Structure 1
Amino acid sequence: MTQIPRSALILGLAGVIPFAWGALTLAVPAAAAWGQANLGPRFIGPYVQLYYGAIILSFMSGVLWGFATKTEGTRAATGYALSVIPALWAFFMTGGGPVSAGMNLIFGFAGLLALDYAFWTWGLAPRWWMQLRVLLTGLVIACLSIGVFT
């Protein structure tokens, strides 16, 4: 296994903070009260998780698109087509209330992990990519699960 570059690991973990903060404000009423008073209701509970989750799925579409540029022909066309799925999923599947939107984000991040794996096996992602993506996806799904199942 190739070690994850320190900057990628730190920035990736920092990207989990809004998911973790949303989970914390769901689990700890005092954190929710502080967040609502100081940040506003959009930045607590499922609201921050759902909004940020849709943004991150869209961002990851761009990452996959970038990987697709590393190849040509049919593989590139397939990569480009697959790369738009997370953004479209976020757009179409995050309505309908916090529980269903949260579940759909969980499915979206699980599906993104499958796409990460495909791009990685095609040699388009760095060798350390799956180590990072499994870690981050696990953390994100755990945080979203607090919003869905509490």
Structure 2
Amino acid sequence: MTTPPRAPLILGLLGLIPFVWGAATVLNADLAEWSMRTLGSRFVGPYVQLFYGAVILSFMSGVLWGFATKAEGAQAATGYALSVIPALWAFLMTGNGPVAAGLNLMAGFTGLLLLDFAFWRWGLAPVWWMPLRVLLTGIVLICLAIGVFA
């Protein structure tokens, strides 16, 4: 495995800001209060994580769809079918309160990592894809766990 290029690494890390911010506001009551007053309740604690997590799972469906365009025949059909799972998961599994939604997002991001691995093994994702996805997914899961369990 190789190191991700600088641009995807930096943009991927910047994309973690809502997850990290949500975890920080769960762990720091003063930050949560400031965020509530300044930014509004949608940008505090697990709520920012849940909304943004659903958006990112949907975005990643589009990324996987793009990878599927590199395949042909049955592999392409399989890739297209698998690529819609993260978006459908986000749509169907993020209700029933913040704890259930957070747990379901954790499962969704774990499943997404498995899909990332499959597309990577098929040679449809860049060679540096898995180091990037493991790093980003690990941080997302830690942040979501803070939102669920703290």
Could you tell me the TM-score, scaled by structure 1's length? 0.99
> Residue 126 of structure 2 corresponds to which residue in structure 1?
126
Q: After the TM superposition, list the runs of 4 or more consecutive aligned residues in structure 1 that deviate by more than 4 angstroms.
A: none
Q: Give the equivalent residue in structure 2 for 1:53.
A: 53
Q: Distance in 2 between the 1:99 and 1:148 partners?
A: 5
Q: Deviations over 1:76-123 (max 9, x none)?
A: 000000000000000000000000000000000000000000000000
Q: How many residue pairs end up in the alignment?
A: 150
Q: Could you say what secondary structure the match of 2:49 adopts? A: helix
Shift of 1:133: 0.1
Task: Kindly report which structure 2 residues correspond to 1:1-150, keeping only aligned pairs within 5 A, or say none.
Answer: 1-150=1-150
SS of the aligned residue for 1:99 comes to helix
Q: CA deviation at 1:144?
A: 0.1
Provide the aligned C-alpha RMSD in A. 0.5
The runs of 5 or more residues in structure 1 that have no matched partner are: none
* Deviation string, structure 1 residues 39-72 (Cα, Å, up to 9, x no partner): 0000110110000000000000000000000011
Task: Give the letter for the 2:68 counterpart.
Answer: A
**TM-score, structure 2 normalization:** 0.99
What 5-or-longer segments of structure 2 have no aligned partner?
Answer: none
Counterpart Cα distance in 1 of 2:91 and 2:27:
27
Structure 2 residue matching 1:145: 3-state secondary structure: helix
Amino acid at match of 1:118: A
> Within 1, Cα distance between the matches of 2:66 and 2:6?
21
Which letter maps to 2:92?
A: F
Distance in 1, matches of 2:89 and 2:9, equals 26
2: CA distance, partners of 1:16 / 1:78 = 29
Partner letter of residue 15 of structure 1? G
- What does the per-residue CA deviation read over 1:113-140, in whole Å, with 9 as the maximum and x for residues that have no partner? 0000000000000000000000000000
What amino acid does structure 1 have at the position aligned with 2:40? G
